[in-house]
Amino acid sequence: MGADRTAPSCPMCDEPLFKRHCKYVCPTHGVVVDCSDPFTF
């Protein structure tokens, strides 16, 4: 939300996401977004 746009955060808990392979992974929620998702940060 208010975070650096280069460091996307989880839409559910606002934790910073890890970028793994082609996916963004929340430490709590698991994979939140992958590269095939139409929603992009």
Residue with tokens 């996916």: 23
Nearest residue to Zn ion on Cβ basis: 10
Least distance between Zn ion and beta carbon 15 (Å): 5
Q: Which is nearer to Zn ion, 8 or 21 (CB)?
A: 8
Q: Which of 7, 12, 20, 34 binds Zn ion (CB under 5 A)?
A: 12
| Pairwise CA distance, residues 13 & 10, whole Å | 6
- With beta carbons less than 8 A apart as the criterion, state whether 24 and 30 touch: no
With binding defined as CB under 5 A, does residue 29 bind Zn ion?
yes
- With beta carbons less than 8 A apart as the criterion, state whether 25 and 38 touch: no
With binding defined as CB under 5 A, does residue 10 bind Zn ion?
yes
